[in-house]
Amino acid sequence: MGFDRLIARIRALHNPTVAGLDPKLSYVPDYIRKEAFARCDDPFEAAASAILTYNKGLIDALCDIVPAVKPQCAYYEMYGWQGMRTLAQTIAYAKEKGMFVITDGKRNDIGATMQAYAAAHLGKTELDGCRCAAFDADALTVNGYLGTDGIAPLTEVCAQEDKGIFVLVKTSNPSSGELQDQLLGDAPVYRAMGNMCERWGEATIGEYGYSAVGAVVGATYPQQLSELRAALPHTFFLVPGYGAQGGGAKDVAPAFDANGDGAIINSSRGILCAYQKAGCDAHAYAEAARAEAIRMRDDIISAL
């Protein structure tokens, strides 16, 4: 219920972070890429295969210290349906290794269509009598611009399948304020969206006090993060923007509640490309990712 499974895993590992799996082909070590392109004639097959190998290496290196991974759909879709197959295989592998999987798809649509997205990413699809899971993540990021009927089909599946969603509230990018900071009466748009998250989550509050409807709030806006933490006591936060986008440990500290719960901090490029940044041998990419994940964990824990 709520994000209990995720929170329990964070507590067990003493690590409130998630590794973003945004595998641009240029991040994949040369030796993996070359092997795949030598083996496969179709360049999309080769890319998809190289990325799967890379992801599995990262998951193996991270699964006992990092509670969750967050594959970003865009970086799989750009490699075609073969890339989407790699997304499904990556999710299955990470779950097999005990990780909580957040698919970062920022999906949104009208109610009937959101039922289809809910089935695709969190639930099961009806297939002529059998019900099968297509992508089967533990949580999905979504956009709430369409209001309640775009969210209700997801909360239904979350309640049935013990899964969660993260609604975009205040995003980490420089132009997020163009709409999100505009005032609706006294309060900005992001606050209205945050209040909707509290309402949407009401029926799914778990044992740690958080509902199945979380929010995306960027590390690059620490003041809003602090304001929203106080205003949304039942909304668990997914916090992008640490590392490559400029957020530091003290920027993300306000995302947490008094118990040190309430948020998970994402790093994508920092972990994925740690071997490039460290200038170490590409064969050590997974060890470099693990070292960076440990550094990040200790950095964030020390700021709490």
Q: Indicate which residues carry an active-site annotation.
A: 106
87 — phi, psi (to 5°)? -60, -50
191: contact with its own copies by CB under 8 A: no
Binding mask 196-215 for its own copies (x = CB under 8 A): x-------------------
Nearest to 136 by CA among 96, 82, 81, 83: 96
Contact 54, 29 (CB under 8 A): yes
CB-wise, 134 or 203, nearer to its own copies? Answer: 134
For residues 5 and 17, what is the distance between their CA atoms, to the nearest angstrom? 14
252: contact with its own copies by CB under 8 A: no
56: contact with its own copies by CB under 8 A: no
Span from 51-59, 186-194, 226-234, 247-255 in contact with its own copies (CB under 8 A)? 186-194
| Angle at 145 (CA atoms; ends 236, 180), nearest 5 degrees | 75
Span from 9-17, 20-28, 274-282, 294-302 in contact with its own copies (CB under 8 A)? 20-28
Token pair, residue 4, equals 């209990």
143: contact with its own copies by CB under 8 A: yes
176: contact with its own copies by CB under 8 A: yes
31: contact with its own copies by CB under 8 A: no
**Residue 233 in 3-state DSSP?**
coil
The residue from 24, 56, 95, 97 that contacts its own copies (CB under 8 A) is 24
258: contact with its own copies by CB under 8 A: no
CB of 158 to its own copies, least distance (A): 16
Buried b / exposed e over 202-228, threshold 16 CB at 10 Å, is eebbbebbbbbbbbbbbbbbbebbebb
For residues 6 and 170, what is the distance between their CA atoms, to the nearest angstrom? 22
Q: What is the DSSP string of 174-192?
A: GGGHHHHTSEETTEEHHHH
CB of 281 to its own copies, least distance (A): 21
CB of 126 to its own copies, least distance (A): 7
Residue bearing tokens 């590392």: 243
223: contact with its own copies by CB under 8 A: no
Binding mask 79-118 for its own copies (x = CB under 8 A): xxxxxxx-xx---------------x-xxxxxx-xx-xx-
Span from 60-68, 122-130, 225-233, 254-262 in contact with its own copies (CB under 8 A)? 122-130
CB-wise, 196 or 265, nearer to its own copies? Answer: 196
Contact 270, 292 (CB under 8 A): yes
Buried b / exposed e over 120-141, threshold 16 CB at 10 Å, is bbbbbeeeeeeeebebbbbbbb
Span from 51-59, 181-189, 204-212, 246-254 in contact with its own copies (CB under 8 A)? 181-189
The residue from 12, 60, 64, 74 that contacts its own copies (CB under 8 A) is 74
The count of chain residues that interact with its own copies, using the rule CB under 8 A, is 75
Contact 101, 68 (CB under 8 A): yes
Residue type, 85: R
Helices H, strands E: what count in the chain? 14, 12
